[in-house]
Amino acid sequence: MTGPSLLPEKSFTAAAYRSGVLVVSEDTQAAELRGAIGAVQSGLTSVKVPKQLENFSQVLADEAGLSICARREDEEAFVLDMLRDSGTKEELYAAAEALFDRLADGEMKALALPPSSRFRAALVKVAKDRGLPSMNTSDGHLQIGQLHVFIKEVEEIVERLEDDQEHDFGSELSSLHRLVVRQKSMAAGLFMTEEESVRIRRVALPSVDKTQALEEQRKMTEASFKKFASGRLGHQIFLRRGDLQRLLEEGEHTEEFKARLGQVFDDTLQLQLDVLGQNYGLSKEYWQVFLTKASNELSWRPKFEVLEAFEELMDAQMDTAMERQSSC
């Protein structure tokens, strides 16, 4: 080689120098790979890469502004999952919809997407819109699944359960399947255990208590929640553990009871974290889940007059917080 002037200009990219790859000329395979990577649209796309071109594929991905999220191997090639996290909101949602459409019934995927990925957020939103579960795994991956059939089966089981009846789902459920059972049972006010196997049980309550619980839950309007929930994150309002403790100070409760109720709060917060990736405090939706769970497990519901008294203590603090937010 007599000098760089003899080489094609495209060979001297910053990405190539960083990776230590310099291509003098591209054969048919390399040219096809360049075209395939250049055609990657918003979202996640699997690209088949000949093994001898793995380093070159990284250069091309860098040049195209793509991230390689996962890598699989067979005898002849690598399959790289490439993420284009740019694009309009509509383009990212369309890509998320397409990914779900490609999943067979019962199929699940764990996607190694960055926590701040816009496409990851689009997948969570689409899953929620479709009534499908999504959760963060222990290794940081986003797990999704096409579980409509299983969800329907769980809903039918929950609906058939009568007072003091139990259903055992066994011990072989995946984390995503367990999440479905947890969501559906808690929404229906059922008691759930996950020690050796996953079991749900409908606990019988006196009819007077049921009527009273429904009436008190009806009074827990969004306006009321906003008054006694002190946590704020962006435009959302959350009820934190400290708010719960101050609420309990309005009544007479043993330390053991407070500890058990705190555990119910933590369990509900963990469920919200699994589903929404948010543990700053309970949202309005999951506060209602907490009330149902506390009623079933501890036969506890805050009296509405206690909530009203608590609201008065919180009014000044919340008004100040709202004024600060509106001035930003």
Same domain membership, residue 317 and residue 219: yes
- Does residue 9 share a domain with residue 30? yes
45 and 98 assigned to the same domain: no
| One domain for residues 38 and 110 | no
pLDDT by residue for the chain (328 residues), tens only, comes to 334 433 343 443 444 445 555 555 677 888 899 999 999 999 999 999 998 888 889 989 998 999 998 888 887 899 999 999 999 999 999 999 999 999 999 999 999 898 889 999 999 999 999 999 998 887 888 999 999 999 999 999 999 998 888 999 998 999 899 989 988 887 787 888 877 788 998 876 555 454 555 455 444 434 444 444 444 444 344 567 777 776 676 566 788 888 888 888 888 888 777 776 766 677 766 776 777 777 777 777 666 555 555 445 445 444 554 455 445 5
- Same domain assignment for residues 285 and 320: yes
Q: Are residues 16 and 80 in the same domain?
A: yes
Both 129 and 241 in one domain: the answer is: no
Q: What is the pLDDT of residues 232-248, one digit of tens each?
A: 444 344 567 777 776 67
Count of structural domains, the chain: 4
List pLDDT tens digits, range 105-139: 999 999 989 888 999 999 999 999 999 999 888 78
- State which residues form the domain around 12: 4-84
The last residue of a domain, from among 31, 59, 84: 84
> How much is the CA Rg of the chain, to the nearest whole Å?
26
SS3 sequence of the chain = CCCHHHCCHHHCCHHHHHHCCCCCCCCHHHHHHHHHHHCCCCEEEEEEEEHHHHHHHHHHHHHHCCEEEEEEECCCEEEEEEEECCCCHHHHHHHHHHHHHHCCCCCEEEECCCCCCHHHHHHHHHHHHCCCCEEECCCCCEEEECCHHHHHHHHHHHHHCCCCCEEECCCCCCHHHHHHHHHHHHHCCCEEECCCCCEEECCCCCHHHHHHHHHHHHHCCHHHHHHHCCEEECCEEEECHHHHHHHHCCCCCCHHHHHHHHHHHHHHHHHHHHHHCCCCCECHHHHHHHHHHHHHHHCCCCCHHHHHHHHHHHHHHHHHHHHHHHHC
- Do 310 and 220 belong to one domain? yes
